[in-house]
Structure 1
Amino acid sequence: MLSLPDTLNQQISGAVHKDHASRDTGRYLVAAILAGAFIGIADVFMFTAAGPLAADNIPWAPLVGGLVFGLGLILVVFAGSELVTSAMMVVPIGWAKRSISIPAGLRAIGLMIIGNLVGSIIIALLIKGSGIMDHGPVADYMATVSQAKVHKPTGELFFRGIMCNVLVCLAVWTQTRATNEVAKMVVMAWCMAAFVTSGFEHVVANMTTLSLGLVHGVDTVTLAGAARNLVVVLLGNAVGGAVFVALPYLASVKQPAAAPADTAGSVA
């Protein structure tokens, strides 16, 4: 297992990588599209696994959905792609250590938001074409979840967004410490299960959920409602990653030795 200073170094290197990689806009957008698609695949997996259970009023349906949703972050990290929510921890660490500039970090985050959204929409359109959510318990569960997301009060969305990204960023931080691939997968899967089962809000997962609701014509799921959800959850996720994960580790971990200028690949 990596020491805490070495783990912080890895996050600094990840921030530098995001700065350098995002200068090639086209390639970086594709990497971000992949991340949106990977989370979208996990979102669909969650609905198909938990939907039939929810239809039978089985109380542990959310737990089942949470256990399978971990596939998304595992794909993001192991296959390689650029996910905006983990960047909300990595980029602020880079800013604090002055390894990247504020404009560079904002550029990378902006490209990730765009790419993640495009990847989510692509998955939603593919699922619409497949017909697997046109009717039945899976469709009903997707409709129920997407409707709930557009009607939740703004305050609830914001605080659920904070809690969600605390878990996502802890998953990324902890898997960085682990040196065994199985351990990495387990910690990521458990953290994802915790946020899904608890009902927290992840902006990229919501991009797919709300896109599914829109393309399937779910009642009361509107573009305006979806936009409100995504903006508020994005802000909550940003606070969760920067204030509740990056800041405590910056304050508690001893200043590491100088991090390398770049890494071969992004942390997540």
Structure 2
Amino acid sequence: MISVAENLRETAGQAEHKAHDLARPGRYAVSAMLAGAYIGIGEVLLLVAVSPFVAEHAAAARLLEGAVFPVALTIVMFAGAQLFTSNVMVMLLGALSGRTGVKDLVGSWVLSLGGNLVGAFAFGAMVHASGVLSAPPARAMLAELVVGKGALDGGQLFWRAVLCNMLVCLGVWMFSRARGDAAKIFVLWLPVLVFVAVGFEHCVANMALFSLAILDGTAGFGDLGRSLLFTVPGNIVGGGALVACTYWFTGRPDRASDSSYE
């Protein structure tokens, strides 16, 4: 495992690379669309695999949801794609360390968020056409999930989103520190399991979930818009303030004694 200071340098380098990729916005957007689709894979797996247990009111259903959904972030990290929630941390660390600028940060966040949304809907449309979610337990679970999210007030959505992206970005941060594929998968899996099992809010996962519900007729675009209104800022605070800013503050070397940070 590499040190925190080394990981800060590597993450700032990732931000620099992402900033360079912004010069080709079409490619960047396609990569973001892939991330939205990959997160959708986790939602579909969750609905298909766990819905029979939910229908039987199994006590371990929430834990099972958490156990299967991390496949989504695992695919994102190993395949490579522009996911908004992890870009929150990466691009902010790049800006704080002086390797990238505010323009790069805003461009990455906006383009990845928009691409994630398009990718989630495109994948949702293919899933809807395939009919794999047509079984009554899966449809019932989908409707139950979106109704539950709609019942939360704005403050609850915001703070659940803060806590969610704190966990997601911690997973990505540990993924970068770990050495060896097995270790990377393990440290990525655990925080995502927690956020799903507990019921925190991930804006891109909600894009994927609500796209499926909209196509199924159990939710509307207004429901998705309301969710994003609170979860996007919450995810920014969670991944930005609670992970990027704190590790930059606590882990950066003394500039006066260690110029190698640059």
Alignment partner, residue 236 of structure 1: 234
Aligned-residue identity in percent: 35
The answer on whether the counterparts of 2:31 and 2:81 sit within 8 Å (CA) in structure 1 is yes
Offset at residue 151 of structure 1 (A): 2.7
Alignment partner, residue 158 of structure 1: 158
Alignment partner, residue 17 of structure 1: 17
TM-score after normalising by structure 1: 0.93
The answer on whether the counterparts of 1:53 and 1:61 sit within 8 Å (CA) in structure 2 is yes
Offset at residue 150 of structure 1 (A): 2.4
Alignment partner, residue 263 of structure 1: none
Alignment partner, residue 76 of structure 1: 76
Separation of aligned partners in 2, 1:175 and 1:59: 31
The answer to whether residue 131 in structure 2 is matched with residue 131 in structure 1 is: yes
The answer to whether residue 228 in structure 2 is matched with residue 191 in structure 1 is: no
Residue identity matched to 2:44: V
Offset at residue 154 of structure 1 (A): 0.5
The answer on whether the counterparts of 2:8 and 2:252 sit within 8 Å (CA) in structure 1 is no
Residue identity matched to 2:42: A
> When the two structures are aligned, how many residues end up with a matched partner?
257
Offset at residue 222 of structure 1 (A): 2.0
Alignment partner, residue 104 of structure 1: 104
Residue identity matched to 1:16: E
Separation of aligned partners in 1, 2:45 and 2:153: 27
Residues 49-82 of structure 1, C-alpha deviations (whole Å, 9 max, x = no match):
2111010001211111111111111111101111
Residue identity matched to 1:249: Y
Residues 223-268 of structure 1, C-alpha deviations (whole Å, 9 max, x = no match):
1121010121011000000111111111111327345xxxxxxxxx
Offset at residue 97 of structure 1 (A): 1.2
Offset at residue 115 of structure 1 (A): 0.8
Residue identity matched to 1:239: V
In structure 2, list runs of 5 or more residues that go unmatched: none
Offset at residue 94 of structure 1 (A): 1.2
Mapping 1:1-268, distance limit 5 Å: 1-218=1-218, 221-255=219-253, 257-258=260-261
The answer on whether the counterparts of 1:134 and 1:216 sit within 8 Å (CA) in structure 2 is no
Does 248-257 or 86-95 show the bigger shift? 248-257
Separation of aligned partners in 1, 2:109 and 2:184: 24
Separation of aligned partners in 1, 2:34 and 2:125: 15
Higher relative contact order structure (alpha carbons within 8 Å, sequence separation ≥ 6): 1
Residue identity matched to 1:193: L
| Structure 1 vs Structure 2 CA RMSD | 1.1
Residue identity matched to 1:164: C
SS in 1 for 2:10: helix
The answer on whether the counterparts of 1:151 and 1:225 sit within 8 Å (CA) in structure 2 is no
Separation of aligned partners in 2, 1:106 and 1:254: 23
